[in-house]
Structure 1
Amino acid sequence: MAALLVVGIGLPPLGAVLRPYVTEAVFLLLVVSFARVDLVALRGHLRRPGLVLAAIGWTTIAVPLLYGVGLALMGAPPGLALGLMLHGIASPMMAAPALAALMGLDATLVLISLVGGTMLVPLTAPLFAWIFLGDALPLSPLAMGLKLAAMLLGSLALALAVRRWPGVPALERHREAVNGFNILVLLVFVSAVMGDVAGQTLADPLGVAWMALLALAIFLVLFGATALLFRRAGRQAALSLALMASQRNMGLMLAATDGALPGAAWLYFAMCQFPIYLAPLLLRRLVRAGIRRDAPGSSAPAGSGSAKPPAPP
């Protein structure tokens, strides 16, 4: 997966060609992700509604509020402020359950919290955008909400059709082919986002380095704050939700705004890709230590009920 970042940075012309198709790529990634949801695992975690509702409230309401208040206090430049706020109001990315499973965390808890939060985004994202961005948003909050709802409901409807025909067993049998298709579609998104990074690095290396450090710092703060907030649920659950909350679905925000964002927002989104794809390496030791120290009667075994690896926007 990290090789996609290298391709995106190393082939800027490819990014220029593929950028107009970001919305279509995000839609297809959503379809595949919804089609591969493990419904049995999803129903199983409905027995823990308190924890799930708390996770949904944190990632869809509390996190955007913290972003908005933080931006108001720090006085970021308009372009960067737009990118940061869109990052904050986004739902967690659809590949979070797969990454959680890869790291030995509770993928089913991540899955049900993710699905619940994602379904609320057409309501919460426009509201927070209107409160904290106002006229800086390149489209009206109503238009944003309608587009998000259309993308999510449309991709969900198509995913349900795919689950009927060719059906879930066929998706399982052809898992490698589906994964390959996901990678190709993800290449469209990554190339579009990373296409200008090489040129911007040559033109302003310090500015790009600062943006990369900012993206990494926000990732780590979100991860740490979420882990601390949910620590009483057990280390495995806390780390699972921390991973989910720290990885936001920026592709959905790009699609909702048709990519009509200033250069600073695009650069910030690009820099956010690094902690997303390097998370398994950055957090491996911490996660392993947390799982080893967790109580023997943990509510969910490591990686239980994991979603099949969807490639994220």
Structure 2
Amino acid sequence: MLTLISRYSTQLLASCVLVGFALPTLANTLLPFLPAILFILMLFTIVSLDIKTLIKDLAQRSVWLYAIWHSLGVTVLVMSLLWLFQVDSKLYLAIAASCATGSLFASPAIVRSIGLDAQRCMAMTIASTLLMPLVLLLNGLVFSHFSGTEQLQLDMQIYSQRLAIFIILPVFISVVGHKLIKQSQIERALLTIRPVTIVLVLFFPLGLMGAFRETYDLSPNQAWQYLAIAFAVSGLLFISSFLLYIKQGKQQALISAITATNRNVLLTYSITGGFLGMEFLVYMGALQLPIYLLPLLVKQLYRPS
């Protein structure tokens, strides 16, 4: 069963968005459990990686240049186009916040399911997450200046705790585990566990659709508007990131494109203390379909050499 799920993981991820939309009660029930699922997913993913290589990747200038593009670069690009096309200003803060957000911690598992390098993706994910508060505050400051509203506040204590739980703790457990357990035993265990990581990722599109469905029930036109904007922004991030990195090879361009499109919006919402409001919750749900459809498209078009 797990092998079948792993084989059709990208199709199932996109399908879970529709299931979450169709069953909002299920989505709202799963939402509180997503942080715990996220921790397990991060632990499995980091244990499967080479920590020394990951540290070397994080020391590379190119990874941090990517993180700057992932947050600050896409903010300038996306917000300029939103202003140019006169998109409803009520959405500006929600979209700017999502642009500042680091990549999904599930990105390495998604990238691996397509046959791409999860090791490099993890370094890019961690770098973009570490840079996130600075760009999020900057985006909030700019928004507050032009809109005259209250300045965005971040709960740095919660952010620090989540970094410790979701990144530092799994790295520590991985290092200790690799010292105490034989590599051959770890590799055998990982072969069994790997399909489980994809199953865990399925809970995210399922659990983040509640607010979007509620908006759809109240105002279908507004929900369609959110979805159209989410598709446009995600498509723009994917295409621009792919073109920006294509000189480094097709695989690196695809990793960059997928990592840039995936956004850990749940982390952003948790550290802003609900400041971003209902607009962000709805946009968070609208993002799920393009986020999980793009890997499906990549899997259909990309064949590892």
| 1:132 CA displacement | 2.9
CA contact (8 A) 1:201 1:208 kept: yes
Name which of 100, 120, 140 aligns with 2:153: 140
State how far apart, in whole Å, the 1-side matches of 2:133 and 2:186 are. 29
Find the counterpart in structure 1 of residue 241 from structure 2: 226
2:51 is the counterpart of 1:39: yes
Moved more, 193-202 or 275-284: 193-202
Structure 2 residue matching 1:120: 3-state secondary structure? helix
Find the counterpart in structure 2 of residue 270 from structure 1: 285
CA contact (8 A) 2:20 2:210 kept: yes
Change (3 A) 1:183 1:102: closer
> For residues 5-16 of structure 1, what are the structure 2 equivalents within 5 Å?
5-16=17-28
Change (3 A) 1:82 1:22: farther
Find the counterpart in structure 2 of residue 279 from structure 1: 294
Structure 1 gaps of 5+ residues are 292-301, 303-313
> For residues 174-213 of structure 1, what are the structure 2 equivalents within 5 Å?
174-175=189-190, 176=192, 180=196, 183=199, 187=203, 189-213=204-228
Change (3 A) 1:32 1:74: farther
TM-superposition CA deviations, 1:182-226 (whole Å, max 9, x none): 745863x54442124444334433332332222122111111111
Change (3 A) 1:241 1:201: same
Find the counterpart in structure 2 of residue 118 from structure 1: 129
CA contact (8 A) 2:109 2:198 kept: no
| Counterpart residue type for residue 223 of structure 1 | F
The alignment's C-alpha RMSD in Å is 3.4
Change (3 A) 1:163 1:279: same
Structure 1 residue matching 2:258: 3-state secondary structure? helix
| 1:253 CA displacement | 0.9
> For residues 1-150 of structure 1, what are the structure 2 equivalents within 5 Å?
1-2=12-13, 3-20=15-32, 26=38, 29-42=41-54, 45=57, 49-133=60-144, 139-141=152-154, 143=155, 145-150=156-161
Change (3 A) 1:191 1:238: closer
TM-superposition CA deviations, 1:50-86 (whole Å, max 9, x none): 5334322211321223334444545544542222111
Structure 2 gaps of 5+ residues are 1-11
Find the counterpart in structure 1 of residue 4 from structure 2: none
TM-superposition CA deviations, 1:7-38 (whole Å, max 9, x none): 42232223334445555555555555445443
TM-superposition CA deviations, 1:152-210 (whole Å, max 9, x none): 133333213432566576765554558648745863x5444212444433443333233
Name which of 245, 258, 266 aligns with 2:260: 245
CA contact (8 A) 1:89 1:129 kept: no
State the TM-score, normalizing by the size of structure 2. Answer: 0.76
Change (3 A) 1:7 1:184: farther
Provide the identity percentage.
26
State how far apart, in whole Å, the 2-side matches of 1:136 and 1:66 are. 23
State how far apart, in whole Å, the 1-side matches of 2:275 and 2:118 are. 34
| Counterpart residue type for residue 140 of structure 1 | Q
Change (3 A) 1:100 1:13: closer
CA contact (8 A) 1:9 1:195 kept: yes
| Counterpart residue type for residue 221 of structure 2 | L
Change (3 A) 1:77 1:12: same
TM-superposition CA deviations, 1:287-306 (whole Å, max 9, x none): 34xx6xxxxxxxxxx6xxxx
State the TM-score, normalizing by the size of structure 1. Answer: 0.74
